[in-house]
Amino acid sequence: MNTLSELHQDHINLTRLLDILQRKVVRLREGVHPDFSLMADVVSYVGDYADQYHHPHEDLMYEFFRGRDSELDKHFAECEQEHRDLKQLSTRLTDSIEAILNDAVMPMDQFTDQLDAFVTAEKNHLDFEEAKIFPRLKELGSEQDWEALAAKIPENPDPLFGEHQAEEYRELYRALMEDMNAEA
């Protein structure tokens, strides 16, 4: 599996979590209050995994291919800005959830709008990469390119969807499986 395939799999996994958060938005708008601890875990994973592993790997990939296609270079720049914007949204949402968990008063409609904006921005970002960047990289990259790039990217097992879940995400994984089974 090459770097592009691994990043695509990350997108699939992240989309599963974002779909759960999107359902939480709907439930919040219906007046149902979610498990904020679990929501904090989902947002933490999405933000932390993206910031610490996923986006740095994408950034390395974009740098590796930069200069080969001017249209793609424009998309890289746009994507890198989105990475910075998503980090800010994630941090603000995490702060809001922590405040709620610590009994701070926050209007639920304000929180729901913030959660909805986060989910929408994340999904739009993933869709942009899948539609504008990944297909072109697949065309552009040779087997030698992917091998050379893989040598530059450190191995980082996914703490939630990887072979071994990190302790901090075991409850989230269990809840994710329950959520997926509830829909089946």
**What CATH number is given to the structural domain containing 75?**
1.20.120.520
Give pTM, 2 decimals.
0.88
Closest Cα to residue 75, out of 120, 123, 122, 127? 127
Residue 182 to residue 184: CA distance in whole angstroms? 6
The C-alpha atoms of residue 6 and residue 26 are separated, in whole angstroms, by 31
Question: Does residue 101 contact residue 40 with C-beta atoms inside 8 Å?
Answer: yes
Distances in Å between the alpha carbon of 79 and those of 54, 85, 88, 145?
Answer: 13, 10, 14, 21
pLDDT tens for the chain, 184 residues: list them. 688 999 999 999 899 889 888 988 998 999 988 888 888 888 888 888 888 888 889 999 999 999 999 999 999 999 999 999 999 999 999 999 999 999 998 999 999 999 999 999 999 999 999 999 999 999 999 999 999 999 998 877 777 777 776 777 777 777 777 766 665 4
3-class state of residue 69 by DSSP: coil
pLDDT at residue 184, rounded to an integer:
45
Amino acid 50: pLDDT: 84
- Sequence letter at residue 98: E
Question: Could you tell me the residue range of the domain that residue 69 belongs to?
Answer: 3-183
Q: Helix, strand or coil for residue 158?
A: coil
Nearest to 78 by CA among 121, 129, 117, 120: 129
Q: How many domains does the chain fold into?
A: 1
- Cα–Cα dist 160/90, whole Å: 18
Q: What are the backbone angles phi and psi of residue 69, rounded to the nearest 5°?
A: -155, 115
Angle at 74 between CA 85 and CA 148, to 5 degrees: 95
